[in-house]
């Protein structure tokens, strides 16, 4: 039940930040691989949360258009770590790798389709609190779920 909430919240975040066409670019392939839809949504929610903390704050938004390569690598690494925390409490290496790779592949697909970087790497200021809150709630719910299974 928790995973459905994460999927709905991530789709709503993606629609509000990127719009319908860019959301369809990642959602339609993810719907065909339904086993990996929760992983894709967790990875995207983690990407939004980590990006809102790494991107510099400029002109009422978080702007990552001119982020150095070192910070982009850190962004994808932390996205993999947070994805592992969202999906399972005891993470596996393939979840970390897939969680880190999915946003990178998605950004490369946007580049292939010639979507301007300003429309992808420019996040509104409210996104920091929404995505961080979403990740904290999901992680705490996962821990509570694990604790109930132990009892």
* pTM for the structure as a whole: 0.86
Q: What is the C-alpha to C-alpha distance for residues 2 and 6, in angstroms, rounded to an integer?
A: 6
Domain enclosing residue 17, as ranges: 2-150
**Tens digits of pLDDT across the chain (151 residues):** 677 788 888 888 888 888 888 888 888 888 887 778 888 888 888 999 998 899 888 888 887 888 888 998 999 999 988 888 887 755 678 888 888 898 898 888 888 888 887 778 888 888 888 888 888 888 888 888 888 888 7
Pairing of strands 57-58, 122-124: unpaired
Residue 136's pLDDT is 87
Domain count, the chain: 1
Q: What does the buried/exposed string (b/e) look like for 8-21 if buried means 16 or more CB atoms within 10 Å of the residue's CB? A: ebbbebbeebbeee
Asked if residues 87 and 99 have their Cβ atoms less than 8 Å apart, the reply is yes
The structure tokens listed for 16 are: 């509000």
Residue 116's pLDDT is 81
Residue 1's pLDDT is 63
> For 31-52, what is each residue's pLDDT tens digit?
887 778 888 888 888 999 998 8
The structure tokens listed for 15 are: 């629609």
């Amino acid at each position: 039940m928790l995973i459905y909430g994460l999927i709905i919240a991530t789709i709503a975040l993606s629609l509000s930040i990127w719009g319908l066409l860019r959301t369809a670019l990642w959602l339609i392939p993810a719907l065909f691989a339904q086993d990996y839809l929760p992983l894709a949504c967790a990875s995207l929610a983690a990407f939004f949360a980590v990006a809102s903390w790494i991107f510099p704050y400029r002109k009422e938004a978080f702007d990552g258009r001119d982020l150095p390569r070192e910070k982009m690598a850190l962004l994808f690494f932390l996205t993999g770590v947070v994805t592992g925390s969202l999906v399972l409490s005891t993470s596996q290496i393939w979840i970390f790798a897939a969680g880190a790779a999915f946003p990178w592949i998605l950004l490369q697909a946007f580049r292939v389709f010639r979507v301007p970087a300003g429309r992808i790497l420019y996040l509104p200021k409210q996104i920091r609190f929404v995505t961080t809150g979403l990740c904290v709630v999901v992680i705490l719910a996962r821990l509570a779920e694990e604790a109930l299974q132990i009892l």
